């Protein structure tokens, strides 16, 4: 079984085990962000988003705010921005960085993230979504990576969930799961792991969105940082037998 085979099997098994995640947490109504959360703290109804630039912006801001941070904290910060009338590029550009930092305090790293938000808004001013839509995915990715505060994962989150581009998001769980299963070395670099996924899967943004969400879900269940112990009761058996047997328990 090659690593590429494993990438396919893991997706099938996780989808079987957890079902579609319907993921990126974003406000889809005009109501309060808090009220729009489902019982996991996520916002439902995300399959057909983003539908407009406002939603694209909110997804991108969420991607910045959730860096190394629980989504609940990022979501609170996003709601706080909304309540302070700072959920547009112009309003954010008009605000002092310290005002933004105050509003997003609950997300942690608020000084860094406030600066990143302002720089990202300057970027959007220079490269509006409509202009980005005319560029290739790799070109947009390079542009995003030039923004201070946007690294590879955040760039890919924005590409995948805000712009619907098939750019695979590699996060800590992805590396943890695949290295623990012996599919890749634990020291594998971000770009190498991304290449593996993108070479193994059809370039379908909906598939990439679902796969990343499933990896996060599985990671939360079985790969918390401390003791992700010995076995992966869901994935290990499937990779040994080579057939995606359904195995939903824990």
Nearer to DNA, 12 or 111 (CB): 111
> Considering Cα of 186, then 191, then 195, then 201, what sign does the dihedral take?
positive
CB of 2 to DNA, least distance (A): 24
CA distance 198 to 213: 16
Q: How many CB atoms within 10 Å of residue 6?
A: 21
Residue closer to DNA, measured from CB, 155 or 183: 155
CB of residue 161 to DNA, shortest distance in Å: 6
Nearest distance, CB of residue 109 and DNA, angstroms: 4
Q: How near is the Cβ of 175 to DNA at its closest, in Å?
A: 9
Nearer to DNA, 84 or 237 (CB): 84
Task: Give Cβ neighbours of residue 167 (< 8 Å, ≥ 6 apart).
Answer: 137, 141, 155, 156, 159, 160, 194, 198, 208
Q: Give the span between the Cα atoms of 191 and 171, in whole angstroms.
A: 11
Task: Give me the residues that bind DNA (CB under 7 A), please.
Answer: 23-25, 42, 62-63, 66-73, 76, 105-113, 147-155, 157, 161, 171-173, 187, 189, 216, 220, 224-226
CB closer to DNA, 189 vs 246: 189
Give me the helices (H) in 127-164, please: 129-132, 137-145, 152-157
Residues 114, 65: Cα–Cα separation, whole Å: 9
Nearer to DNA, 154 or 244 (CB): 154
Q: Is the Cβ of residue 56 or residue 244 nearer to DNA in the bound state? A: 56
The size of the chain, in residues, is 250
Least Å distance, CB 142 to DNA, is 13
- Burial state string for 89-116 with b = 16 or more CB within 10 A and e = fewer than 16: beebeebeeeebbebbbbbbbbeebbeb
Runs of H (alpha helix) within 19-162? 33-36, 53-65, 71-83, 89-94, 97-103, 110-126, 129-132, 137-145, 152-157
Structure tokens at 98: 């310290």
Smallest gap from Cβ 185 to DNA, in A, equals: 11
Q: Are 219 and 173 in contact (CB under 8 A)?
A: yes
Minimum CB distance to DNA, residue 243 (Å): 29
Name which of 136 and 187 has its Cβ closer to DNA: 187
């Amino acid at each position: 079984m090659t690593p590429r085979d494993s990438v396919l099997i893991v997706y099938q098994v996780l989808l079987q085990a957890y079902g579609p995640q319907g993921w990126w947490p974003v406000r889809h109504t005009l109501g309060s962000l808090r009220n729009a959360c489902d019982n996991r703290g996520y916002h439902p109804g995300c399959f057909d988003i983003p539908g407009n630039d406002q939603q694209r912006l909110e997804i991108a801001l969420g991607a910045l705010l959730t860096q190394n941070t629980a989504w609940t904290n990022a979501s609170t910060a996003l709601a706080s921005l909304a309540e302070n009338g700072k959920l547009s590029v112009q309003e954010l550009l008009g605000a002092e960085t310290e005002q933004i930092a105050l509003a997003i305090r609950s997300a942690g790293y608020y000084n860094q993230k406030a600066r990143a938000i302002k720089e990202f808004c300057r970027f959007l001013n220079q490269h509006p979504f409509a202009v980005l839509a005319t560029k290739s995915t790799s070109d947009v990715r390079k542009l995003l990576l030039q923004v201070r505060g946007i690294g590879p994962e955040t760039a890919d989150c924005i590409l995948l969930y805000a712009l619907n581009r098939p750019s695979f998001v590699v996060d800590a769980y992805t590396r943890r799961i695949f290295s623990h299963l012996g599919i890749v070395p634990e020291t594998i670099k971000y770009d190498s792991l991304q290449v593996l996924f993108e070479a193994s899967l059809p370039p379908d943004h909906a598939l990439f969105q679902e796969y990343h969400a499933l990896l996060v879900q599985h990671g939360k269940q079985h790969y918390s940082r401390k003791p992700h112990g010995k076995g992966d009761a869901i994935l290990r058996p499937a990779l040994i037998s080579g057939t995606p047997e359904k195995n939903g328990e824990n």
